[in-house]
Amino acid sequence: MPLIEWNSSLSIGVAALDADHRKLAELINHLHDEHEANRGAQVIRRVMEGFREHLATHLEREEALMAKAGAADLAEHRASHAMARARFDEMAAALREDEDFAGEVLEYMKAWLINHIVCQDLKLREVFQAKGLCDVKLEDMPDAGAWQRLAARLDRFRVGTRITLLALIPVALLAMQIINLLNTGLADIRAKDNLIATVNIGVRASSLVHELQKERGGSALFLGSKGTQFSAELASQRTATDTASAGFRQSLAGNPSPQLRETLKAAETALAGLADLRRAVDGQTSPPAQMVGNYTAMVDTLIGQIEVVTRAATEADVTRDLGAYVNFIKSKERAGRERAVGAAGFAAGQFTPELYQNFVGLIAEQRAFDDAFAAGIDPAFAKTVRDKVHGEAVDKVAEMRKAALSSIGTGTTAGIKAPDWFSAQTARIDLLKNAEDEMAAKMTRQVAAERDAGASTLVNLVVISVIAIITIALFAIALKSSLAPPLLRLTQVMRTLAEGNRTMGVPSTAARDEIGEIARAVQFFKEKLIAAEYLGKDGWTENKARIAAFVRKQQAIEQFNGRVHGFLTSLAAASNELLASSETMSVTATQTIQRSGEVNQASDLTRDRVQTAAAATEELSASINEIASQVSRTAEASKAAADDANRTNAMVSSLADAAQRIGEVVNLITDIASQTNLLALNATIEAARAGEAGKGFAVVAGEVKNLANQTARATDEITRQISAIQSEANTSANAMSAIVQRIGEIDSIAAMVAAAVEEQSAATAEISRSMQEVSSATVEVGQSINEVSQAAGQTGDAALAVKDASSELSGQAESLKQEVSSFLDEMSDRKAG
């Protein structure tokens, strides 16, 4: 897998720079592959050199383009480029010293190239575009879709503002819908209120028509009786009519529709003539037919207004019911006319043809209006009306109708009184009025129910809409609270991380939405950042430790160089001193041998003299005179022997001192050999650390070590020989002391012999015994002197060996000095390279 993957987002817009960046990435990937495959230090160094060469070319090209574009931060880029060149030069040198450093170099190269492109060169894209230096076509750049471009325009708004705008759109639509529903609903409610008012006008007009019908019938009776009948009932009826008229006028005044009130002015005008009509009836100045016609015209006007009210309704079912209601009123009006016409006929006792024809026509019209009513009303309600309009009054009117219809042939009304007809027809009309009132109440309830249902629906819709708006608002607030604050907190955390604070916790990592994913990504980034900083610090510490170790190594090499040169100089001087000492030992050994010969000769002379003294002692008994001369000669010989013994003792002491000095020199050589051996061991260790470059130095160090070991063995042998010489010298000194003592005793004996001849016999025996002991001691001294002579010879041989070894050691020290100097010079040259 490549270490760096190139993609179009890294394009600067300048083909040459993009090609340079891709080439640098390829070289880094190539170096990574070679390092992973363990291709060797030479391959890695060659790739590194290619990277450095291409980097230098790229940086020069980039600086030239920046200068051409007039980039404001050109100086900063140049400083950064110079630092990069120096850093990669250092890394190339580090790779020459240690190829294991390639991993760290690769990581730095990757980080540097990404930082160079993303954090530096991508910022130059706008500068190059502004100066027309970009030669990468726009189609080569990634193109966003229309929605992406639209979404990009929204980034000028904060997330909370976008959520608020998103919530305002449905809220505004819902508010508009609520307003529309309110307008429609309120208009419908107003229409229903107008319809109720309209129905109420119709009901009040119908009530007024009913009362006018009754007043018309009463007035007909009153006029037919010439004012003798029905005056009290007529007065009561007029009161009822006035009450109904007041209710009608009140309904007109309370109607909210100005157009309808304008339309119903005809009814008010018609009612205005009611007072004149009544005065005419009271004054008996109006003929019955004219009076009935006037009342009928007024009733027709009111019924016509009811029809106008019916046409004002807009709902189909209400319009249908109102149409049936009008037909029913018209039928009832015809019943009222029938009552008046019948009352006139029954009052006259017969029906004239004209009156009869009018009576029959009214019955027919009632049936036609009843059929129209039945056809326009709900069948169930039509049955309800039929059930209400039946009974004795209806049956009685039917019987009276038969009498009236048959009167045209019989010429008589079968004795039916006009009041009876009027009462029976009135009872039937009252039943019709009850049915009419039931119908009006039904329509009012229906319209009111529809109005209430519409109002309830409107309220429900408004409430639902308001709840929806509140829900959307609350959801928007909750959404904004769940998005904006966490995003702001994450932004603050990332800003804090960018500022260097790594201890701040990342919120919302447990969230299950995209915010949680972002938070977990930020947490992952934080952990990686901390790890990278730790590794960077650790690497820096390690590199610093390496540098410090390298410096210490160089210092140690320099110190070692000084110590080795000093030691080798000291070794050469010690070798020269050892050579001089060995020569001195050789001379001393020669002198020791010479002195030993002299001591041996003196010992032989002493032995001879002792033997002479012994012979003289033996001859003492022969001649006493001869004793004095022998004693004298003995004294002289003893004196000479004492002198010779003292000289011999002095020479033996000198020999011991010389042996002691030789031992000190040998110890010095031993110390030098030990230091040489230790130095050779250290040199061997340093040569092993130096690897291939220290192999020659290791060979020299081994030879020095072997030579030091040989020197140590030789000095040990010399030490043993010197110790033997010192022991023998001490023995000889003790023997010579004994000889001196014995010679002193000889002197004493000679004096005793000279002083007391009488003790000659005892003294002679004592002298003989002493002479024997002196002779034995002299023999031992001779043997010791011979041993000293032999030891001195061995010392001379050892001194010659030490001399030869010292010469060899001096030559090897000089060779070691040259090898160490060559090795240190080579290490210094490698460091400089």
pLDDT band at 682 (very low <50, low <70, confident <90, very high): confident
pLDDT for 309 equals: 67
Q: CB-based contacts of 516: which residues, under 8 Å, 6+ apart?
A: 508, 509, 510
User: How many whole angstroms separate alpha carbon 518 and alpha carbon 534?
Assistant: 24
Q: Is CATH 3.40.50.720 the classification given to domain 8-135?
A: no
User: Angle, to 10 degrees, between the axis of helix 41-69 and the axis of helix 15-36?
Assistant: 160
441 vs 770 pLDDT, higher one: 441
Which of 443, 236, 405 shows the shortest CA–CA distance to 329?
443
Decide: helix, strand or coil at residue 143. coil
Q: 583, exposed or middle or buried, with CB in 10 Å at 0-12, 13-18, 19+?
A: middle
Looking at residue 680, what is its pLDDT?
Answer: 63
Tokens of 268: 């008010």
How many residues belong to the chain? 833
- Can you tell me whether residue 362 is helix, strand or coil? helix
CATH 1.20.1270 positions along the chain are 540-611+655-832
The token duo for 42 is 């030479």
Of the pLDDT bands very low, low, confident and very high (cuts 50, 70, 90), residue 364 is: very high
- Note the pLDDT tens digit of each residue in 579-627: 666 566 566 657 666 765 665 675 566 567 656 756 766 675 565 556 6
Percent of the chain with pLDDT over 90: 6
Per-residue pLDDT tens over the stretch 274-328: 888 888 888 888 887 788 888 888 888 878 777 776 666 666 777 787 788 888 8
Span 557-579, average pLDDT: 62
**Among the ranges given (348-357, 408-417, 761-770), the one the predictor scored with the smallest mean pLDDT:** 761-770
Confidence category of residue 740, pLDDT binned at 50, 70, 90: low
pLDDT of residue 832: 43
Range from 229-233, 522-526, 665-669 carrying the lowest mean pLDDT: 665-669
Does the pLDDT of residue 434 top 80, yes or no? yes
DSSP 76-121: HHHHHHHHHHHHHHHHHHHHHH-GGGHHHHHHHHHHHHHIIIIIIG
Angle at 562 between CA 560 and CA 564, to 5 degrees: 65
pLDDT tens column, 170-218:
888 888 888 888 888 788 777 777 777 777 777 787 788 888 888 887 8
What pLDDT score does 140 carry? Answer: 44
259-268 CB contacts, 8 Å cutoff, 24+ apart: 260/194, 260/198, 260/201, 260/308, 260/309, 260/312, 263/305, 263/308, 264/201, 264/305, 264/308, 264/309, 266/301, 266/304, 266/305, 267/205, 267/301, 267/302, 267/305
Rg, C-alpha atoms of the chain:
77
Residue 81 CA to residue 366 CA, distance in Å, equals 115
Amino acid at position 593, single letter? I
Question: Which part of the chain is CATH 1.20.120.50?
Answer: 8-135
User: Smallest Cα–Cα separation from 259: which of 206, 320, 197, 315?
Assistant: 197
Fold of 540-611+655-832: Substrate Binding Domain Of Dnak; Chain:A; Domain 2 (1.20.1270)
**pLDDT tens column, 684-730:** 776 677 667 666 656 766 776 776 677 667 667 767 776 776 676 57
CA distance 609 to 743: 11
Whole-number pLDDT of residue 630: 66
Max intra-chain CA distance, the chain: 251
With 0.75 as the threshold, say if the pTM is over it. no
pLDDT above 70 (res 515): yes
CA 754 – CA 762 distance, rounded (Å): 13
CB 217 within 8 A of CB 419: no
Average pLDDT score over residue span 41-57: 85
Tell me how far apart the alpha carbons of residues 744 and 639 are, in angstroms, rounded to a whole number.
8
